[in-house]
Amino acid sequence: MSMPEQAVAERQLTMAEAVREALAEEMRRDVCVFVMGEDVAEAGTPFKVLKGLVDEFGPERVMDTPISEAGFTGIGLGAAMTGMRPVVDIMFGDFLFLALDQIANQAAKVRYMSGGKLSAPLVIRTTLGATRRSAAQHSQSLHALVSHIPGLKVALPSTPYDAKGLMKTAIRDDNPVVIFEDKMMFAVKGAVPLEDYTIPFGQADVKRSGDDITLVATSSMVYVALSAADLLAQQGISAEVIDPRTTVPLDTETLVASVVKTGRAIVIDEGYQSYGVTGEIASIISDQAFYHLDAPVKRMGAMDVPIPFSPALEDLTVPTPEKVAELAAKLCRKGS
Amino acid sequence: MSSADGTLLDLYRRMLRIRFFEEQVNDLYTSAKMPGLAHLYIGEEAVAVGVCTALRDNDYITSTHRGHGHCLAKGAAVDRMFAELLGKEAGYCRGKGGSMHIAEQEKGNLGANAIVAGSAGIATGAALSAKKRGTDQVAACFFGEGALGQGVLYECMNMASLWNLPVVYVCENNMYNEYTHYRETTAGDIAARAEAFGIPVQDGDGQDVRNVYEVSAIAVARARAGDGPSFLHFRTYRQRGHHVGDIDRAYYRSKDEERQWAEDRDPVKILGQAMIREGAADAAALDRIEEEVRTEIAEGVKFALDAPYPQPEEVTTDVYA
């Protein structure tokens, strides 16, 4: 972990607390920062991530909006283009589809299309992740969708430390950033130092060092990969777990260096597998670490089906530690 | 607005500038010197000029695919406009936006937009920003009646009304959603759509620049005073096709209708004739303005034709992700 050593002994925050603290600190630091979205004020979002924010900053800076994703994302963009730094809250990542014109045709293009004259320091804060029994329209992980569009930065924190640091970087960025939080991870605890810090985009984090295989994992899948690494350790296989933390920009150097060392890689991500993040990263590794590979680079994404409601079915659609470990062990056996 | 000669002559000059600019665009396009698409504003000049005359330099506008008129009316220079249309580096967007994306931050132009109603959010957000920053800036959101088909417009109007934002929604009803008469696409009463959100609506004659100005000035003053959004509905007419290449239009509108609007309802003629009739200007003064604007346009085109294209490295300039 790249976390500063002195921080380890410090207080533990949940992911939700870390996000809220990042927002509160940035709002104190810069009066231009404000939050807008559905049920962000008194309700503090359905996940209670923003609970209490309105008490400190008032409804002018923690603005409840109508259920109008396209409208308020566009309004956030207009505010961003004229001196403000909005954090637009899109409750479920699935609702990105409702606002995609504003995000992909407008926000992403405004700087380039205006010859660099206009800019949009806009943060879109949203969620990803299945297994909450929320069915097909409240469970998708759609970060590949926005990662595909030039002009959008995309961050996916997997720890409270990363959530706070990446959120602060996003707010201070002069360009649009979409930041995805796993809605199943808001209660996860981790060390978060008291002092101000940011995490630069495009810096992967080695969450666990290892020698035999690289598990590249994003967001929720970092925990799946870490659990898989535990299982593998019992079999004498040493897995390295790397979290890119941002898909755009992507720290290809760290990913490739790891695979050059281990010779094997699985890319694990909760987005749909086809045409997704796993394909992109696997392709980069195959391309740049080809002569160091002892096995084909494998992908594990969400199953390519609309996410089913029934727990008996939904759990089948997402990579699990057991499945990751099984595939990793197979690759290591074949390669050795 | 003062009815002093100077002001009326200035309105006349600014409408004529758009008219001659667009005629030149037509020539550039049909002589294959201009790439892409060209949606001409000919016939609608009074709306852009009237509305923008009611705005200050630091007020905001957002524009549309048919946006040359708005950009010029908000203060863009002819030479850099032409340069942008030709994809030259000297253009307002370094040649990377083109006809449908001209933006000029210094003059409050937050950009023309090629998505119908695509800038409703941007304009409304600029108004929210002005309110948050405590300025008295106003945002004018130009759109055609075709944008009445887009849901995002209503989402934004709802929030503008809820939050009492200083935004003026300017509906330029040129009667045609591309190639389809708006009566085939627009149910009910247009004014009622804005009134449903508690937004006051004012109808205006989009061919009479003085009327456009007067109606706009009230809406802008209202916004500036903190009294919230307005919706202006200007009836106007697109004398040319949806774009330059839309030549055979008989299947969606008659030549008689076109002739009538061009002869009897042309905004430039209407103001010119009114000034002469009212003794505000004589024919010689109008001829002089015409001459000066023709020169300005000719020089602007020459500048743009002679200007260099962007260097290849420009393709990745301003790319950050």
Q: Is residue A2 part of a domain?
A: no
Q: Is residue A335 part of a domain?
A: no
- How do the residues of chain A divide into helix, strand and coil, expressed in percent and rounded to 5? 40, 20, 40
For residue A76, the chain B residue with the least C-alpha distance is B125
Establish if A73 touches chain B: CB-CB under 8 angstroms: yes
Q: Is residue B158 part of a domain?
A: yes
Residue A49 confidence class, pLDDT cut points 50, 70, 90: very high
Shared-domain flag, residues A240 and A141: no
Share of chain A above pLDDT 90, in %: 96
Residue-level pLDDT at A10 = 79
Q: Are A278 and A300 in contact (CB under 8 A)?
A: yes
Q: Which of A191, A213, A243 is the last residue of a domain?
A: A191
ipTM here: 0.95
Q: How far apart are CA A244 and CA A246, in angstroms?
A: 5
Domain of B118 in residue numbering reads as 5-309
Q: Which of A161, A191, A221 is the last residue of a domain?
A: A191
Q: Is residue A120 part of a domain?
A: yes
A143 part of the active site? no
| 3 state DSSP class of A249 | coil
Cβ of B321 within 8 Å of Cβ of A115? The answer is: no
Q: Is residue A336 part of a domain?
A: no
Residue-level pLDDT at B2 = 37
Shared-domain flag, residues A156 and A299: no
Q: Is residue A320 part of a domain?
A: yes
One-letter identity of residue A319: P
Say which CATH number the domain at A173 has: 3.40.50.970
List, for residues A131-190, the tens digit of each pLDDT value. 999 999 999 999 999 999 999 999 999 999 999 999 999 999 999 999 999 999 999 999
Q: Is residue B321 part of a domain?
A: no
Q: Which of A138, A143, A148, A292 is catalytic?
A: A138
Set of chain B residues whose Cβ sits within 8 Å of the Cβ of A60 = 132
Domain of A170 in residue numbering reads as 7-191
Share of chain A above pLDDT 70, in %: 96
Shared-domain flag, residues A20 and A133: yes
Cis amide prior to A249 (ω within 30 degrees): yes
Residue-level pLDDT at A4 = 52
Q: Is residue B319 part of a domain?
A: no
Say which CATH number the domain at B57 has: 3.40.50.970
Q: How far apart are CA A126 and CA A138, in angstroms?
A: 12
Residue-level pLDDT at A335 = 44
Residue A261 has pLDDT above 90, yes or no: yes
Domain count for chain B, please give it.
1
Q: Is residue A198 part of a domain?
A: no
Residue-level pLDDT at B178 = 96
A300-312 average pLDDT score: 97
Q: Is residue B121 part of a domain?
A: yes
Say which CATH number the domain at A268 has: 3.40.50.920
Across chain B, the runs of DSSP E, i.e. the strands, are 60-62, 139-144, 167-173, 176-177, 180-181, 201-205, 230-235
Please report, in tens digits, the pLDDT of each residue of chain B (321 residues total).
Answer: 433 345 899 999 999 999 999 999 999 999 999 999 999 999 999 999 999 999 999 999 999 999 999 999 999 999 999 999 999 999 999 999 999 999 999 999 999 999 999 999 999 999 999 999 999 999 999 999 999 999 999 999 999 999 999 999 999 999 999 999 999 999 999 999 999 999 999 999 999 999 999 999 999 999 999 999 999 999 999 999 999 999 999 999 999 999 999 999 999 999 999 999 999 999 999 999 999 999 999 999 999 999 999 999 999 999 999
Shared-domain flag, residues A186 and A221: no
Establish if B310 touches chain A: CB-CB under 8 angstroms: no
Q: Is residue B299 part of a domain?
A: yes
Q: Is residue B320 part of a domain?
A: no
List, for residues A85-95, the tens digit of each pLDDT value. 999 999 999 99
Shared-domain flag, residues A41 and A66: yes
Q: Is residue A116 part of a domain?
A: yes
Q: Is residue B315 part of a domain?
A: no
Domain count for chain A, please give it.
2
In the numeric block, the tokens 């050593």 are attached to: A5
Q: Is residue A301 part of a domain?
A: yes
Shared-domain flag, residues A45 and A149: yes
Lowest mean pLDDT of A9-13, A108-112, A196-200, B106-110, name the range.
Answer: A9-13
Q: Which of these, B321, B36, B82, B312, lies nearest to A112 by C-alpha position?
A: B321
Set of chain B residues whose Cβ sits within 8 Å of the Cβ of A114 = 92-93, 96-97, 101, 103, 105, 111
Residue-level pLDDT at B3 = 39
Lowest mean pLDDT of A1-15, A223-237, B97-111, name the range.
Answer: A1-15
Shared-domain flag, residues A115 and A232: no
